[in-house]
């Protein structure tokens, strides 16, 4: 049996566990679900799965497994059924509606290339509204160069280049745009810092656990509350000091550009320790 179908059967089992009824459902209702602290790998590549530990077992959404292993999962509302196709690639459901771009508006690119709208540019936001740049941000400097073999680190998934808006209170008129280019800066800075940590790096090699997983743990998005330290402007030592204080911890980083009434304010960098 192929590895893909092995994962498919495992996912089906997890789905079945969530659909329990009768006495089984009543018993499950008393169980405590907590976010899983484990790291997941598919064919040696780290994947970001939202998992919960229940009674000593990991429970993962079927769609997340389909996305990681690349099989199709779909839902048919007409008969309340879930369909799994191991021969078809994973595909996201089409959004209910996609805002049409305003005339001349530019979209935030879904890439880690620098995004620097200039004065007068109209930027389309995720909620369908736009804002006009009245003061552009400075041009970003080049990203760090490798001080070690970066190919030894797990391949990390970039988050969506989303936008956020505030329309009420003191924050009204504020727009935040996720900066994937500066997120890469944080990632590469931590890669170089890891090579200076004997806990993580030895004889030119990234250390691994007894199970063969990299000890270095990093995510390129902050999705949980707590343990977040923001700073601006960019200061490499601000990031590395936090990292050197606990190099074997789990880290998440993010970078966002902030505008107020079209005027660029700053890029906020955040690092989270778990």
In this structure, the answer to whether residues 113 and 46 fall within a common structural domain is no
Spans of the chain, pLDDT less than 50: 1, 5, 8-9, 11-29, 96
In this structure, the answer to whether residues 38 and 137 fall within a common structural domain is no
In this structure, the answer to whether residues 34 and 118 fall within a common structural domain is no
Does some domain include residue 98? Answer: no
pLDDT at 24: 40
In this structure, the answer to whether residues 252 and 122 fall within a common structural domain is yes
In this structure, the answer to whether residues 128 and 242 fall within a common structural domain is yes
Cis peptide before 88 (omega within 30 of 0): no
For 100-116, the pLDDT digits (tens) are 556 789 999 999 999 99
Residue ranges with strand state E in the chain: 33-35, 40-42, 45-47, 51-54, 57-60, 72-76, 81-85, 106-107, 122-124, 130-132, 163-166, 174-178, 201-202, 205-206, 217-219, 228-231, 250-260, 263-273
For 113-149, the pLDDT digits (tens) are 999 999 999 999 999 999 999 999 999 999 999 999 9
Does some domain include residue 94? Answer: no
In this structure, the answer to whether residues 164 and 207 fall within a common structural domain is yes
Instruction: Please count the structural domains in the chain.
Output: 2
Does some domain include residue 95? Answer: no
* Domain housing 77: 3-85
pLDDT at 61: 80
Which residues lie across from 133 on neighbouring strands?
A: none
Residue at a domain's end among 18, 53, 85: 85
Q: Which two tokens stand for residue 64?
A: 């997340």
In this structure, the answer to whether residues 160 and 71 fall within a common structural domain is no
Angle (deg, nearest 10), helices 236-245 and 180-194:
50
pLDDT at 94: 53
In this structure, the answer to whether residues 268 and 199 fall within a common structural domain is yes
In this structure, the answer to whether residues 58 and 190 fall within a common structural domain is no
In this structure, the answer to whether residues 134 and 257 fall within a common structural domain is yes
Residue with tokens 């996201």: 92
- Is 0.85 surpassed by the pTM of this model? no
Q: Are 124 and 110 in contact (CB under 8 A)?
A: no
In this structure, the answer to whether residues 113 and 62 fall within a common structural domain is no
Does some domain include residue 181? Answer: yes
In this structure, the answer to whether residues 189 and 231 fall within a common structural domain is yes
């Amino acid at each position: 049996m192929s590895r893909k179908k092995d994962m498919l059967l495992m996912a089906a089992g997890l789905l079945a566990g969530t659909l329990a009824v009768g006495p089984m459902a009543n018993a499950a209702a008393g169980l405590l679900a907590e976010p899983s602290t484990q790291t997941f790998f598919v064919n040696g590549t780290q994947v970001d799965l939202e998992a919960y530990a229940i009674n000593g077992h990991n429970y993962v959404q079927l769609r997340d497994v389909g996305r990681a292993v690349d099989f199709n999962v779909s839902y048919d509302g007409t008969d309340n059924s879930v369909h799994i196709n191991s021969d078809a690639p994973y595909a996201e459901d089409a959004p209910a509606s996609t805002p049409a771009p305003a005339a001349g508006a530019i979209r935030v690119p879904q890439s880690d290339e620098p995004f620097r709208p200039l004065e007068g540019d109209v930027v389309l936001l995720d909620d369908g509204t736009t804002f006009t740049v009245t003061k552009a941000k400075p041009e970003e400097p080049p990203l760090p160069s490798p001080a070690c073999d970066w190919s030894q680190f797990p391949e990390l998934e970039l988050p969506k280049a989303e936008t956020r808006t505030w329309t009420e209170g003191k924050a009204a008129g504020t727009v935040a745009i996720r900066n994937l280019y500066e997120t890469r800066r944080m990632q590469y800075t931590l890669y170089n810092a890891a090579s200076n940590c004997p806990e993580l790096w030895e004889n030119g090699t990234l250390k691994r656990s007894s199970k063969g997983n990299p000890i270095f743990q990093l995510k390129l998005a902050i999705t949980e509350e707590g343990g977040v330290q923001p700073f601006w402007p960019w200061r490499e030592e601000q990031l590395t000091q936090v990292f050197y204080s606990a190099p074997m911890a789990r880290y998440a980083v993010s970078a966002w550009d902030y505008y107020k009434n079209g005027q660029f304010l700053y890029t906020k960098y955040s690092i989270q320790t778990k």
